[in-house]
Amino acid sequence: MEAENLKEILFYSLEKSIKTYRQFAQRQLVENGFNITIDQWLVLKALSDGPHQTQHQIAELVFKDYASVTRIIELLVEKQYLVRTIHANDRRRFNLTLTENAVRLLEAMQPVIEKNRSTALKGINEQHASQFQHILNLIINNCQS
Amino acid sequence: MEAENLKEILFYSLEKSIKTYRQFAQRQLVENGFNITIDQWLVLKALSDGPHQTQHQIAELVFKDYASVTRIIELLVEKQYLVRTIHANDRRRFNLTLTENAVRLLEAMQPVIEKNRSTALKGINEQHASQFQHILNLIINNCQS
DNA sequence: CAAATATAATTGATATATCAATATTATTCA
DNA sequence: TGAATAATATTGATATATCAATTATATTTG
């Protein structure tokens, strides 16, 4: 009974924490004048860190559906943060290149992103954080096997 | 540098864990022949636990937008798991009543739901779970203030 | 080489998230 | 009481998640 209740609360809190963090982070972006969603930022950041990835690889990296990545990239092209050109050797693929605009945007956003993380983790030391991390990884592994 | 990286990984894992769990849990429902989403289940469960709630209260309880709850309830009415009638004293509200079908469904689902949680938490003892819970609550509070 | 298979990406349909605007009914208070 | 305000819920628009089907191109293999 007790344990069952604990498990309920655990996933309840897990869901609540990530939602609360996302809402908080998105609100901070808006308040700092950035007109971009967290998910769009994730894709830009992934491309900034590893420029020559396929959309498939990006999707894996950010845990998104391929369809979602396609649509997010469409929006980023519209917003002139990305340029798509056909890949020279493989005509199924695209080269995705960040525009100057995007590079500047990422730089400008970085301090806000870091502040968001610090705020969210206030009062949590490194030892607790790595304990926490460990349990997250256990859950991930348990759900993948 | 080290700490910054840890923070990155932490939210990354947090996002990955809840997504992985949700996908796992939803897949188990499908495999067991239940034609209902996790979110629809959440709303049914909330109503089962507390029958006389407004849609507003349900939304708060399950961390959903009011608009989302409206639409989820529409679907549950279509699927004949809920009946909506106008509230006697307050014509802005609705009474939401679970059908027999829904009661049976919830009962039939319960073992699967509990198994999902146990599987996901395999190898995590109560002490670690409550440590984990504590950190989740810290994050939630940090993002709400 | 040609057919079969695999890979990369898109598209359509449905569900949910979020924000803003709106409609309806209740409550408050001047 | 009547006007202002609050509460309850819906609707529309846009973004994302998920699944299934499709298109186009590459690669493998008989």
Mind listing the pLDDT tens digit for each residue in B127-144?
999 999 999 999 999 998
Q: How far apart are CA A55 and CA A59, in angstroms?
A: 6
Considering its fold, how many domains does chain B have in total? Answer: 1
For range B107-122, the mean pLDDT:
94
Here the tokens at position B138 are 């810290």
Q: How far apart are CA B5 and CA A105, in angstroms?
A: 21
Could you tell me the pLDDT band of residue B8, with boundaries at 50, 70 and 90?
confident
Strand C close to B72 by CB, under 7 A: yes
CB contact under 8 A, B139 and A63: no
Q: How far apart are CA A59 and CA A70, in angstroms?
A: 9
Q: By residue range, what is the domain housing residue A130?
A: 2-144
CB contact under 8 A, B139 and A11: no
Among partner residues A20, A126, A142, which is closest to B144 by beta-carbon distance? A20
Alpha-carbon B5 to chain mean position: 31
Chain A within 8 Å of B139 (Cβ-Cβ)?
yes
Contacts of residue B93, Cβ cutoff 8 Å, sequence gap at least 6:
B54, B86, B87
Find chain A residues with C-beta within 8 A of B8's C-beta: 117
DSSP label at residue A88? S
Contacts of residue A115, Cβ cutoff 8 Å, sequence gap at least 6:
A28
- B18 CA to D27 C1', in Å? 37
Here the tokens at position B61 are 């309880």
Q: How far apart are CA B8 and CA A114, in angstroms?
A: 9
Chain A within 8 Å of B121 (Cβ-Cβ)?
yes
Residue whose entry in the numeric block shows the structure tokens 């894996």: A60
Find chain B residues with C-beta within 8 A of A43's C-beta: none
* Optimal mutation site among B60, B139, B145, interface A, most CBs of chain A within 10 A: B139
Find chain A residues with C-beta within 8 A of B23's C-beta: 143
Q: Counting one residue from A and one from B, how many pairs have CB atoms under 8 Å apart?
A: 147
Strand C close to A94 by CB, under 7 A: yes
Find chain B residues with C-beta within 8 A of A120's C-beta: 11, 139, 142-143
Residue B2 has pLDDT above 90, yes or no: no
pLDDT score, position A118: 93
- CATH number of residue A25's parent domain: 1.10.10.10
Q: Which helix (H) or strand (E) holds A117?
A: helix A100-120
Here the tokens at position A18 are 């990530």
Q: Residues of B133-143 as b/e, b for ≥16 C-beta within 10 angstroms?
A: bebbebbbebb
Chain A within 8 Å of B119 (Cβ-Cβ)?
yes
Q: What percent of chain B has pLDDT over 70?
A: 95
pLDDT score, position B109: 96
Chain A within 8 Å of B135 (Cβ-Cβ)?
yes
Chain B within 8 Å of A3 (Cβ-Cβ)?
yes
Residue B67 has pLDDT above 90, yes or no: yes
CB contact under 8 A, B143 and A23: yes
Residues of chain A with pLDDT under 70: 1-7
pLDDT score, position A6: 54
Residue B3 has pLDDT above 90, yes or no: no
pLDDT score, position B118: 93
